[in-house]
Amino acid sequence: MRHIVIVGAGQAGSLLALGLLAEGYRVTMVSERTAEQIGNGRVLSNQCVFEPALRHERALGLNHWDGQVPPVTGIAFDAGMPGSADPFISWVSPLDHPAQSVDQRLKMSFWLNEFVARGGELRIARATPEDLAGYAREADLVLVAAGRGPQFDSVFPRDDARSPYSEPQRGITLHLVTAPGDFYQGVTFGLVPGVGEFFVLPLLTAAGPKTGLYFSAIPGGPMDVFDGVTDAARHLELCQEQLRRFFPWSAGAAEDAKSDGPLDFLTGRITPVVRHGVGTLPTGQPVLAMGDTAITNDPIAGQGANNAVHCARIYQRLILEHGDRPFDAEFMRTCFDRYWDYAGTRPGSTTTCWRRRPCTCWRPCRRRRSFPRSRTGSRTCSTIPRTTSRGWAIRRWHGPICGRWLSGWREREVGTTP
């Protein structure tokens, strides 16, 4: 029986571990925390998982929350100028299949227990680069899915050719709240040039359905106000203030909302980076990166969780196809290349859009008021060529994100996979 060691118990590592276990492999998973510690800890992230990724989870029998999680039924987009009461671009589109957002504390703790219940070997330890050599001696293949931190930078160095940024492009913050209002049951995305972006979506937590408020602020800009805030009530007040000031058309998402305390919000900054996917240990043994350890996206694009699922799916298929042959460096490069073929265009499109110049149509369009009416009575720029993709009406303007990125989201939802 071939032995696989996976360092990391997040979305990518857990799915691959459970998938290989089901195929008869001996699998050891190394996790820094127990399932109880994960479930009772601070919120890990905000994510929305679309149908192609959900299909893989269901195929492994891990769709524990179907019927409980609030369905994410569509995508709504609004863009407005600073100080505007209404957006000048506004549209909404249903998804062909509902997406889901499950609090990763709930999901990862359940999967970790499920891994043990299905016969996997779990080790609780904070693995170091030095530990990898020991794992490589005992196993046929070692994979590292330890997230986006610097823990394994010496093993998987930055790929400068594929990583245009050396510092975070946004200051991000998330707060999970209980909101009494009846808000749109989909992903609502707002954008204000020179300020940043805002997301809101329904999700399932251990305490029941909640609403996730997510802000992505241009560093040093007027919405970059969350660093150093440790009080949950004050953090929620800041969220409400930013909505009223910059996204008034979505302010209802947080009005009368309540926070459950300091474990339900987080603040940070993430630098998008692509690393070399195959590392060589001082002993000469190769190891393979996956998930965020391999490719760290800026979270504004909502790609991390979906990419992690597809990374696990791609790696599992290639491991099975490889049979009894050695898992050498060439095999590992093939795995990473296949993953890059799937995920590489996404960080490329979303990171290069940060460098685009703002569309010059904003001022003349505002001056001429040449905007046709949209879903909310707001106006959509008529000087921008229109693109459609299976029901999506997308105006291809500057947008971090509006055109190519949302088209990419649509490809995920439809299921364009290698």
Least confident piece of the model among 18-27, 192-201, 346-355: 346-355
pLDDT digits 0-9 by tens, 6-57: 999 999 999 999 999 999 999 999 999 999 999 999 999 888 999 999 999 9
Mean pLDDT of the region 91-120: 96
Output the six-digit token pair for 11.
């979305």
The residues facing 287 across adjacent strands are 279
Q: Has residue 411 got a pLDDT over 80?
A: no
Burial of 335 (0-12, 13-18, 19+ CB in 10 A): buried
Q: Which residue has the higher pLDDT, 372 or 209?
A: 209
- The alpha carbon dihedral of 181, 184, 189, 192 has a sign of negative
Quote helix, strand, coil % in the chain, to nearest 5. Answer: 35, 25, 40
Percent of the chain at pLDDT exceeding 70: 81
- The alpha carbon dihedral of 144, 148, 153, 157 has a sign of positive
Q: Where are the beta strands (DSSP E) in 23-156?
A: 26-31, 72-79, 89-99, 121-124, 141-144
Q: Residue 214, Cβ neighbours under 10 Å: how many?
A: 23
Q: Has residue 328 got a pLDDT over 50?
A: yes
Least confident piece of the model among 172-181, 211-220, 384-393, 404-413: 384-393
